[in-house]
Structure 1
Amino acid sequence: MGKDTPPVPLPEGQNTSILTLPTEILIQIFLYYIPIYPECPPLFGRHSPSILTNVCRWWRTTALDMPKLWRAIHVDLTLSDKPTNLYQKGIVETARTWLVRSGGSPISVSLTCHQIHAIDAQDLNMPATEILLMECARWEYAIMRLPSHLSKKLYLKQRFMPLLVAMRLTSVGITSEQALGQIHAPRLHTFDSRLSQDLHYFKLFSSDVWSHLTTLKLRDIPLDSAWPILQGTPALRHCWLELWTPGRGINDYTGTILRVLLHLETLIVTSPTTILPPCEPFLRGFVLPSLRRFAIRLALMSDLDPPGSLTDPLGIELLVHVLQCWMCELQVLSILKLPLDGTLDQPIQEAFQNIAYLELNRSNNAWYPNPEFWGVDWFS
């Protein structure tokens, strides 16, 4: 599976028109055939550059001489329920071939590993992860769903990724996170992550990397971990916090020094859990003068506030107060997971009648921001 099939010779007098195309046009056709970089094409089948090598010798020669065709590599080891079968081993070998064909080009890599502890899954995850990590100096875009465990032989104290600009990292095992070491990525501006150990965020990057981030999404993050991270991200323009567990006590942020994020334009605060974190004191700890777009699950404002402290148990007045603390001119406001019967629609519309675009979301399904209104296209 790691090798292309031999090119099929063209019968004499048939389809010879493809042989008359100038090489420059053929190159453009090939580039249009695959997804736009940095999106990764499939290793096999439709829209895979491997298909282009099977038409004729000229197409094969042209394709193999185009590093741009092979510079976006997606390795998905979850396509089969049998992680040790030959098909999946062929995926790893094909990815290795593409890495060679991409030459010295910057690359976009995507890795989806089995996040289980079975020995056979580990045996396959290891070579797939290793071949991509060996090329990390060429990474420009990376989406990495790491295995639950990696051998210590992959551990490095530091990894240098001088070209990396955007990264999505998902991990359920501390050994995989430790294997990455400290990442030096001076060009990194977009980071989306879910780690098994929140303290590892402070080991993953140096303070310089955090200080240059402009887009940040943290998944399954407690407030007490998000707070110090945001203290070190002064350049942020877009931030999405997917909160998990209450974390520290409700008053732990009261009285702390206000954190001013001068450049933050977009803030999204969601939570998939039914045990909602106390979000209002946390949000009051910021001043966000440039904020223009804000989305929040309204229940995060009120469900865990101290008894007797609220004149509005629904959190609407608290939300109004938070927006006043931020000293911003909000243009887009999305309030998520509202009651299906619409009972809160009127008081919300009255409270935020000056907002140009007000979205009242009643769905219990996962909400995703429309890039047209939200100024950023998050990792899908």
Structure 2
Amino acid sequence: MHSGAAADRARIAELEAQILDLERALATLRLQKTVVQERLDSYKYPILTMPNEIISEIFTHFLPTYPRCPPLTGLLSPTLLTHICHKWRDIALASPALWRSILVSEAIPFLIQRTRVLDILSRSGSCPLSIQIEGWEDETIHNPDLKGTLAAVLSHSARWEYLALRPAGIQLPDIQGSFPLLSELDIWLEYFGPPGATNTAFLELPQLCTVTLNDAAALHFVLPWVQITRLNLLRVYMHECLPVLRQTSNLVHCELQLYFDPDRRDDVLDLISLPCLESLTFNDPKPHESATQTCIHPLDVFITPALCNLDIPEKFLGRKPIESLTSFISKSGCALQDLRIIGKISVPRGSYRAAFPSIPRLCFEDSEDDSSS
């Protein structure tokens, strides 16, 4: 009995010694941990030492280039920048330029969208705005949350700099107001009624200079055409775009995506003089279809003495493309600097170069000219 107690006392002493050694080791580890933690706490991540103004500028380059509109949520949304850390959230919320582009669409439930759009409008401060409104159907235009969102956006119309309207139906939202900063307008409509059912909402636009319209919009909108310097008309027939072009005497850049109606091949089209036009681009909405020449030659309509750049599909030049180009250049009296022939060509490239030696840059895009030299 006495020997057993003595052994236990010895064992306790042994355990206490081991505990003491472990406590000393633990104290050493804790001290080392404290030193390492203090060193870590004193470290400044380079990104966090940068001035807030630099961080804000980096944030603007993270987003789609203005005036393109980022989504309200997701990877390219400015809201994502508020979820990284507290400091970055404060910087993002204090950077109005991050919130100056607003997309209103059916991609987000209208109630959630309304809340987020209101937040973005508030965060954008006094910045000019890029507004893109797209995708609603006729039956949803009367949704109270969508109407509330549109009303909120419209209340800031004095700050609109860019506006794109692309409804999925035929009804437009009721847009009235003052637009002193609006410089670029992009409207794509579905069928909007017979010609003459015009929408004259956009008349007092002192800064407007760039316009993009599809056929329905070109037929139904009255704009201050004389001040437009850049015009894009998409999916239009010649007879649809001519009334607009007759009013754009100060046009500098023009792009036409043309359809041709074989039933109107005998139309007599009046000449249009565009004395300031420097760049003229024709696009084929069906580039992969037959390369058969069009029934109407669009260059026959234009007189452009200041023209420097011309892009045109060869199929738009008729059966004798070189003669068509020669006649156009002579009639206009222009000194072309850049000629680009688009699509499949029937005339060898060398023939073009021989015919137009004075044009410094003559190139061919997506051509399939097996006989070229």
TM-score of Structure 1 vs Structure 2, range by shorter chain: 0.7 to 0.9
Structure 1 segment 61-100 matched on structure 2, within 5 A: 61-77=90-106, 79=107, 86=109, 89-100=111-122
Shift of 1:260: 2.7
Shift of 1:191: 0.8
The whole-number CA distance in structure 2 between the counterparts of 1:352 and 1:112 is 45
CA contact (8 A) 2:114 2:146 kept: no
Equivalent position of 2:219 in the other structure:
199
Q: CA RMSD in A?
A: 3.3
The more displaced of 211-220 and 54-63 is 54-63
Deviations 1:187-228 (A, max 9, x none): 011111114254313x3x1xxx21111110101122122222
Quick one: which of 347, 356, 369 aligns to 1:352?
Answer: 356
Answering whether residue 176 of structure 2 is matched by residue 161 of structure 1, we say no
Equivalent position of 1:295 in the other structure:
311
The whole-number CA distance in structure 1 between the counterparts of 2:259 and 2:147 is 30
Shift of 1:272: 2.0
Alpha carbons of structure 1 residues 180 and 69: separation in structure 2 relative to 1, 3 Å = farther
CA contact (8 A) 1:122 1:150 kept: no
CA contact (8 A) 1:150 1:179 kept: no
The gaps in structure 1 that reach 5 residues or longer are 1-11, 80-84, 303-312, 365-380
Quick one: which of 263, 266, 282 aligns to 2:276?
Answer: 263
The gaps in structure 2 that reach 5 residues or longer are 1-39, 369-373
The more displaced of 288-297 and 192-201 is 192-201
Structure 1 segment 1-380 matched on structure 2, within 5 A: 13=41, 17=45, 21-77=50-106, 79=107, 86=109, 89-114=111-136, 119=139, 123=143, 129-150=150-171, 154-155=173-174, 158-174=176-192, 181-196=201-216, 198-201=218-221, 203=222, 205=223, 209-246=224-261, 248-253=264-269, 256=270, 258-273=271-286, 278-280=295-297, 282-302=298-318, 313-339=319-345, 344-363=348-367
CA contact (8 A) 1:188 1:212 kept: yes
The whole-number CA distance in structure 2 between the counterparts of 1:58 and 1:334 is 51
Shift of 1:238: 0.5
Shift of 1:331: 1.2
The whole-number CA distance in structure 1 between the counterparts of 2:95 and 2:86 is 14
The whole-number CA distance in structure 2 between the counterparts of 1:172 and 1:129 is 20
Q: TM-score, normalised by structure 1?
A: 0.72
The whole-number CA distance in structure 1 between the counterparts of 2:305 and 2:349 is 27
Task: From the two aligned structures, give the one with the greater helix fraction.
Answer: 2
Alpha carbons of structure 1 residues 272 and 132: separation in structure 2 relative to 1, 3 Å = same
Shift of 1:16: 6.3
Deviations 1:3-30 (A, max 9, x none): xxxxxxxxx9498646655444443343
The whole-number CA distance in structure 2 between the counterparts of 1:29 and 1:198 is 39
Q: Which has the larger radius of gyration?
A: 2
- Identity, % of aligned positions: 28
The whole-number CA distance in structure 1 between the counterparts of 2:341 and 2:294 is 17
Aligned residues: 319
Deviations 1:142-172 (A, max 9, x none): 2321231437xx435x542110111222111
